[in-house]
Amino acid sequence: MGEYSSYRIPDGFNKNTARTLVLVGGREKKALIQSALALVQSNARCEGYVAPGIGHGISLANPDLFNQIIQAWMMDKNLPKEIEPLPI
């Protein structure tokens, strides 16, 4: 857990103007979920989502779902129903 507990949001991240997707697995370590939440809360351009039942590495655990998420996000379409907004 050492590397997770030392994570800090980079200086100036709150000034990022790019639309940013923050995606975390529902079975991630608590520290990673908290980091995702901190990112979303620190910048209005961030949108956070949880993939329930998936741990670390959604792109490997469920590549089809991951690709659907990324494609929908890039095309500004509705995201797959399998993911949920990150509770803030």
In this predicted structure, what is the pLDDT of residue 4?
Answer: 56
22 φ, ψ to 5°? -115, 115
Q: What is the pLDDT of residues 3-60, one digit of tens each?
A: 556 678 989 999 999 999 999 999 999 999 999 999 999 999 999 999 999 999 999 9
**∠ CA 86-53-1, rounded to 5°:** 75
Query: Residue 43 gets which letter from DSSP?
Result: -
In this predicted structure, what is the pLDDT of residue 60?
Answer: 95
Rounded-to-integer distance, Cα 54 and Cα 45, Å: 25
In this structure, are residues 56 and 28 in contact, taking their beta carbons and an 8 Å threshold? yes
Q: What is the mean pLDDT of the chain?
A: 92
Q: What is the pLDDT of residues 47-88, one digit of tens each?
A: 999 999 999 999 999 999 999 999 999 999 999 999 999 987
Q: What is the pTM of this model?
A: 0.86
Between the CA of residue 69 and those of 11, 26, 28, 38, 56, what are the distances in Å? Answer: 28, 15, 18, 21, 16
pLDDT > 70: what percent of the chain? 93
Query: What six digits make up the tokens of 41?
Result: 């809360």
